[in-house]
Chain A
Amino acid sequence: MAADLPPSTSLQPPTNKRLDWRTIPWWLVAIGLIIAFMGFRIISDPEYTRIFETILTGLGTTLMVTGISFICALILGLVLGLGRVSRNLILRNLSIGYIEFIRGVPILVLIFTISFAIVPALSDWITINGQKLTVSLTARAIIALVLIYAAYIAEIFRAGIESISRGQMEAARSLGMTHGQAMRYVILPQAFRNVLPALGNDLIAILKDSSLVSVLGVREITQVSRLSVSSSFKYEETYFILTAFYLTMTLVLSLLLQWLQRKMSSNVH
């Protein structure tokens, strides 16, 4: 989804004003046409309109689950990533152990395990006003996505930190800064900029994987579609529209991230 666009025409000599057919992103045109065609069917066909409106009721949940999960996974991922490169033996091994554990198990299995085994086991221990804590399925879905994606994002941060040359740390330390200060003011700001594209890819990946929490019965767009199909039996229409939903969102995000990246790299330096 995040494939690079061909170089923009502004990079070419100014004399060449004619649009070169080779520089047109044909794949984007094709996907755009598919989405436009689905849009046309939704407007013109009442059956499609009805299904579209049904799926739309789950969009808020999809976006909320994606957004909250991504932000929390960023924070936990940064903590784990810092632990991953820590000189502290215990911290480092805990972080590596956690990351390898998560990455060694399929996401779908983890969603089941976290939602139906780990969260209930933990919530049994917590009582509020004499009542046992109940965690909603949506909250369990978010917890699962956060715990899973934090491990993947931690690896991104680790790579980002390791991409900054050793000399930067040495320069900061030779000025008398502590390891923590050097990390915070010198290494992390540079690492963060380097990993922005990879983080963007993970945002798109969480958006797509939020469909997996439909197995918990969370009413996001995939679950809403499945429920709709089970009574209407309109398989073709429903799943084509659902596909168009995801495709539109990932495409918009991907283009937005590319634009952001180009803006950042032209702003500084």
Chain B
Amino acid sequence: MSTKLANSNQPMISINKVSKFFGDFRALDEVSLTVDRGEVLMIVGPSGSGKSTLLRCINHLEVPDAGEIMIDGKHVTPKERELNAIRAEVGMVFQRFELFPHLTVLENICLAQQKVRKSSRSESEKIARSLLEKVGIPEQANKYPPKLSGGQQQRVAIARSLAMQPKVILFDEPTSALDPEMINEVLDVMLTLASEGMTMVVVSHEMGFARKAAHQVVFMDGGTIVEQGTPDQVFGAPQHERTKLFLSRILH
């Protein structure tokens, strides 16, 4: 009983004094952060502030130069086998979708299930079709990604990461490559996931999504966390000058 409690109290992601350099440039400077189970964390900040780098460090697309990252109690290490196992449980959604253009939508969602999880073809296709239903584009299953609109492609990308039944999904500016009229169809899917209790880390400037779904907002600048709190605290009553300046720029 007590171990179970301790387990569920353990944060889903804990980032401890993580630093990252690109040459002499300090992209992250001893950043520490925790994300609880079912929490939706939003990271905002100007470009070059380190927010994407921090996100990419979580699943080691960038390997940190110092510090440690734990996901669901497991150390994220650069060791191939352990890292692959962790990555399979951490979904990632990219700004430019990064669907596989030589595979159909259905094959895109099935590939990792079959090659990583060793699921059967019929089983993986069943999951893929139900996920396409969930993101609202079941009729696109047999098309190739370049035939789809940006919004549809991003929804396929979300379905692709959901197919691995991830514990967390990382979103790297999921709407910033989209035409304005397509942003909401993607945000709606993300809102659904949030309401279902998915743990999400979102790098984005979508204020509407932040107010509706985010539990915690982090403002980053210069590779450090400047301010963090609820959306109302950070957006409504920012404490730091840099936060105020940044918000005044993106809100108008």
Contacts and interface: CB of A to CB of B under 8 A. Distances in A.
Pairing of A with B: yes
Interface of A: 165, 167-168, 170-179, 181, 185-186, 189-190, 193, 268-269
A174 B102 contact: no
B84 interface: yes
Contact of A190 (B80, B85, B90, B102): B102
A189 B96 CA distance: 20
Contacts of B146: 269
B115 A190 contact: no
A269 B164 contact: no
B51 interface: no
Contacts of A189: 102
Interface of B: 59, 61, 80, 84-85, 87-92, 94, 96, 98-102, 111-112, 115-116, 144, 146-147, 160-161, 164
7 interchain residue pairs of minimum CB distance? A176-B88, A171-B98, A175-B112, A174-B92, A176-B116, A167-B98, A176-B87
Contacts, number: 67
B161 A175 contact: yes
A179 B60 CA distance: 14
A174 B25 CA distance: 25
Given A175-B87, A176-B116, A269-B146, A168 B160 contact: no
Contacts of A178: 80, 84
A166 to B, nearest CB: 9
Contacts of A167: 94, 96, 98
A176 B94 CA distance: 15
A175 B116 contact: yes
B80 A174 contact: no
Contacts of B90: 174
Given A170-B94, A268-B144, A269-B144, A176 B102 contact: no
A170 B80 contact: no
A114 to B, nearest CB: 37
A168 B164 contact: no
A176 B164 contact: yes
A170 to B, nearest CB: 5
A151 to B, nearest CB: 27
Contact of A269 (B85, B115, B147): B147
Given A176-B88, A176-B112, A171 B94 contact: yes
A57 B59 CA distance: 63
Contacts of B87: 173-176
Contact of B115 (A165, A173, A181): A181
B100 A168 contact: yes
A217 B147 CA distance: 55
B199 to A, nearest CB: 16
8 contacts: A168-B98, A171-B94, A173-B87, A174-B61, A175-B87, A175-B112, A269-B101, A269-B147
B84 A170 contact: no
Nearest to A182: B115
A173 B89 CA distance: 12
Contacts of B88: 175-176
Given A175-B164, A186-B100, A269-B146, 18 more contacts: A167-B94, A170-B61, A174-B90, A174-B92, A175-B87, A175-B112, A175-B160, A176-B116, A177-B84, A177-B112, A178-B84, A181-B115, A181-B116, A185-B111, A185-B115, A193-B102, A268-B102, A269-B144
